[in-house]
Amino acid sequence: MSNSPRDLSRAVYVISVAAELAGVHPQTLRIYERKGLVSPARTDGGSRRYSDDDIAHLQRIQELTDDGLNLAGVKRVLELEAELADLRAEVERVKAEGKAAVAEVERQHRAEIIPVNQSLTVYRRPRR
């Protein structure tokens, strides 16, 4: 057995095992699939296979339905959560790019930058 971390996206569980791990009936997983809430991988023979990521996703669906959401509401919440995750990743990417750009400008113009507390201001009297 390898010591490398397991690939959580690798689809290994048959529907009965996935249903048990998610705490639902296999028919519920088929309903979720028809409603577009989950998209399990398929074998060449057409059997569904679920990954650890799918199981976590199914557990999130269960949390939301336990909180009283219907499947349409669950689907919308999951879409919004995915969008939020994408936007957070984008913000982090833009922040990193901004920091890198500032560092590059500072590196290129280090000799030209004068801290404000060391600058000299020339005052001229207005002419009369």
pLDDT in tens, 73-99: 999 999 999 999 999 999 999 999 999
pLDDT at 114: 63
pLDDT at 1: 47
Could you tell me what percentage of the chain is helix, strand and coil, using 3-state DSSP and rounding each to the nearest 5?
55, 5, 40
Residue 50, both tokens? 């679920």
Residue 51 neighbours by CB distance under 10 Å: 19
pLDDT at 73: 97
Question: How is the chain split into domains, by residue range?
Answer: 15-112
Q: Which residues pair with 42 in a beta bridge?
A: 48
Q: Which residues contact 32 (CB under 8 A, 6 or more apart)?
A: 38, 58, 61, 71
Topology annotation, domain 15-112: Multidrug-efflux Transporter Regulator; Chain: A; Domain 2 (1.10.1660)
Ranges in the chain, pLDDT < 50: 1-2
